[in-house]
Structure 1
Amino acid sequence: MTGVVRLAIWSGPRNISTAMMRAWENRSDSVVVDEPLYAHYLAETGLDHPVREEVIAAGEPSWERVVESLLGPVPDGVRVFYQKHMSHHLLPGIDRAWIGRLSNVLLIRDPREVVASYVRSRASVEPDDIGLRQQVVLYDELAAAGTPPPVIDAADFLRDPENHLRALCEQHDLEFTPRMLSWPAGPRDSDGVWAPHWYDAVWRSTGFEPYRPRNPQLTGQPAEVAEVCLSHYTYLRERSGLR
């Protein structure tokens, strides 16, 4: 599909990834897909996530078929196929050759903030739940292939959403529209079936919230997980910024 931008944003959980999806979906020339590899991830790992069976039933457990849809045809008039991905959904059994055919961006967040938010909804957390290690692997693979992806820190983005979105549009030869900065509150048909468990804040939102510094106080295992992930975050943080 000549001229279609297949924009893949690879994030970890408890980031601004869903708000970012809203921004791109609010363009008149875009379609979005919400975590297309989630069903495969749950089916393969056996993890007990909220509405696990519904996610698998509603999604596509075959990663090969998911990839076919991500690279396949889009509706007439669509210029941007926005793909919201979780980096930890990239399990070892998935061949990654197809990722290089997408326009990839890594969206990162301080793991101390991620873990503090994560454990408010989940009883426990492990380093691989956060996705930063997987983002480092993905960054290095793409860089080795000659296409290091842009890295955006959510804190930087929220300090200046418009300029970040303008830069992404310019990189992909797209016209920026102010529609990307605000959207109607409420659910969307494109939201995954897990949305009622995770998207409360986004459903209430009508735009990006201003950046607020946080100083989460972690103890025990959550603190240990954040510490393990901090080196991965620092590695990517050093490679972040507008280009």
Structure 2
Amino acid sequence: MEPSGDQPNSSQTQPNQVRIIQWGSWRTLSSLFMRCLMNAPNSVTFCELFGLPWYYGVEAKTSRTLIPIDLPHDSTTFARVKEKYENAYDDKKLVFGKEFAFYVSPQQNYKYIPRGYRQSFLIRHPYKTVTSLNKVMMKQKDPGFNCFLDEDVRFEDIWNLYLYTLEYLDADAIIIDADDLVRDPETVLRGYCQHYGIEYKDTFINWDSSTLNEDMLVYGESWFEELLSSSTVRTDPYVKNLLEDPPDISELSQEMQKSIESNLVFYRKLFDKRSKVKILQWGTWRTMSTTFMRCMMGAEDSITFCEPMRFPWYYGTEARTRRKLEIPADLPEDGSTFELVKKKYEAPYEGKRLVFGKEMAYYVYPEEHLKQIPDGYRHSFLIRHPFKTMTSMLKVMSNQEDPGFKTIQPEEGRFEHIWKLYQHVIEQIDPQAIIIDADDFIRDPEAILKKYCSHYGLEFCDSMLNWEGDNFNEEIECWGTVWFGDLMSTKTIRKDPDVADMLSEQPDMSHFSEDIRKIVEEDLIYYKKLHELRLQLKL
């Protein structure tokens, strides 16, 4: 059934006004998400307007027998709710509604979906939604709610509405998983705002608890519990992925078990389509960053970038290097300026679950160039003992064909840049950014990658450790094989659980020149600071 009227832009939508309806199910943290968006400047939010006619209106579709409540006149029927959504709201920059997919299901009821809106979806593992819904239902004063009904948490309704939305309403609609929101609310909300053209504010995650949505009060406090008095989002960066670690449901009622199992079919489909994870990993020369990127290339539905900022740094019209280099004939057009690289990173990449880029910290220094950092990304850092990075760099530079790369330049690859960028990131962009030491990575690559994936909301897969040897991205091929050694032909990571701890030893630097020794010693000061803050595995 095709929709009538203009979608998603209707004549009633005001210029520069963003309208979004977020569809989900009970207990998907949808009220929390709405609570965040309530703090957008010049905004109006609606809390389940369609739930009122569904449960209490003259067209009520629920199977429950409920005690009647006084309904606002504009919420007694589905048609009136649609009209309310389609009002002009001339003075508002954002109009946001949170709704449940089953309110407008099955498909013949899609006619009530308001015109002029973007769409988004919020999901949560069915075990969490089902058990949470059962718990809150038992607390309700109305005995009609004191039982679990599967009709209130049908993920099939979300899946069907999602497919319909992509075809007829909003081809760019995104799905957010509640666990990703809890792991890192700021990054999820920043990405959401960027996608839908909303200006992100710090008040989205820290708010005045006295500011409430009047629709929430119509339903009653018992549905929202401590959210009504909260003033921030409770973050848990280590929340479990229940698809990887399935919960025990044997003690639940048969009806709840059946609901979880049937909903898991559609949850998995939606989970695979959910909002992207976008990560920039910063480091310096020879930190095994290309090996780490090679692992990320094994993630499903991923796209990776290998130092696109290197093009404008060394070869572009804004080149900052002091080297005299030969400009490659195949220099990509979208790499000629830092602004073009930023736009490349910020492109939508539809159909991709992971967007991963590896970059060098010195590409965005001095400080006035921090503005080149792409928006909407999580961040991570990769370090390695400076003695190892310098030894490896001297070796690889001796094999370069371009004479401009035969010497070390002191402004490149410094650990001071990594330290300063790390401080900037955790203070201004991503407080949950982590540091990985290459030696820890080599000691146990699987454990490090699993921890990394869990932290950033990714699914670890075996193809991150074992890959096809000729599957590379275009930037690697552009740089040439001399920079990457035998990585171009490998199909796995060379694990070394006995790799030496260089900080507990004093490496012999007698073969280094005085200038090189000075660089290593200075870099060690910042490496030690970063090393203390690195991700560590529990023994």
TM score, norm. by length of structure 1: 0.88
CA displacement 1:168-220 (0-9 Å, x = unmatched): 11112222111111112246243241132211221132121223437564421
> Relative contact order, CA 8 A, sep 6+: which one is greater?
1
Residue 156 (structure 1) aligns with: 440
The separation in 2 between residues aligned to 1:55 and 1:238, in whole angstroms, is: 41
CA displacement 1:112-151 (0-9 Å, x = unmatched): 1111111113233244322311111111111222615200
Is the CA contact (8 Å cut-off) linking 1:25 and 1:31 kept in structure 2?
yes
In structure 2, the gaps of 5 or more residues are: 1-173, 175-191, 193-274, 398-405
Is the CA contact (8 Å cut-off) linking 1:116 and 1:222 kept in structure 2?
no
Residue 492 (structure 2) aligns with: 207
Is the CA contact (8 Å cut-off) linking 1:126 and 1:225 kept in structure 2?
no
Matched, 1:34 2:306: yes
Residue 286 (structure 2) aligns with: 14
The separation in 2 between residues aligned to 1:57 and 1:102, in whole angstroms, is: 23
The separation in 1 between residues aligned to 2:313 and 2:383, in whole angstroms, is: 20
Determine helix, strand or coil for the equivalent of 2:478: coil
Q: Which amino acid in the other structure matches residue 208 of structure 1? A: I
Distance 1:48 1:165, change over 3 A: same
Is the CA contact (8 Å cut-off) linking 2:287 and 2:383 kept in structure 1?
yes
Distance 1:55 1:111, change over 3 A: farther
Residue 109 (structure 1) aligns with: 384
Residue 195 (structure 1) aligns with: 480
Distance 1:202 1:8, change over 3 A: same
Q: What is the Cα deviation at residue 58 of structure 1?
A: 5.8
Is the CA contact (8 Å cut-off) linking 1:5 and 1:80 kept in structure 2?
yes
Deviates more, 1:5-14 or 1:91-100: 91-100
Matched, 1:182 2:466: yes
Is the CA contact (8 Å cut-off) linking 2:445 and 2:495 kept in structure 1?
no
The separation in 1 between residues aligned to 2:322 and 2:415, in whole angstroms, is: 19
The separation in 1 between residues aligned to 2:286 and 2:333, in whole angstroms, is: 22
Q: What is the Cα deviation at residue 20 of structure 1?
A: 1.1
Aligned residues: 242
Distance 1:209 1:239, change over 3 A: same
The separation in 1 between residues aligned to 2:373 and 2:412, in whole angstroms, is: 23
In structure 1, the gaps of 5 or more residues are: none
Q: Which amino acid in the other structure matches residue 204 of structure 1? A: S
TM score, norm. by length of structure 2: 0.42
Q: Which amino acid in the other structure matches residue 128 of structure 1? A: E
Q: Which amino acid in the other structure matches residue 25 of structure 1? A: M
1:1-243 maps to which residues of 2 (within 5 A)? Answer: 3-42=275-314, 43=316, 44-48=319-323, 52-54=327-329, 56-57=331-332, 60-76=335-351, 78-92=352-366, 93-96=368-371, 98-99=373-374, 101-122=376-397, 123-145=406-428, 147-186=431-470, 188-190=472-474, 191-211=476-496, 212-213=499-500, 215=507, 217=509, 218-220=511-513, 221-242=515-536
How much is the aligned-residue C-alpha RMSD, in angstroms? 2.4
Determine helix, strand or coil for the equivalent of 1:45: coil
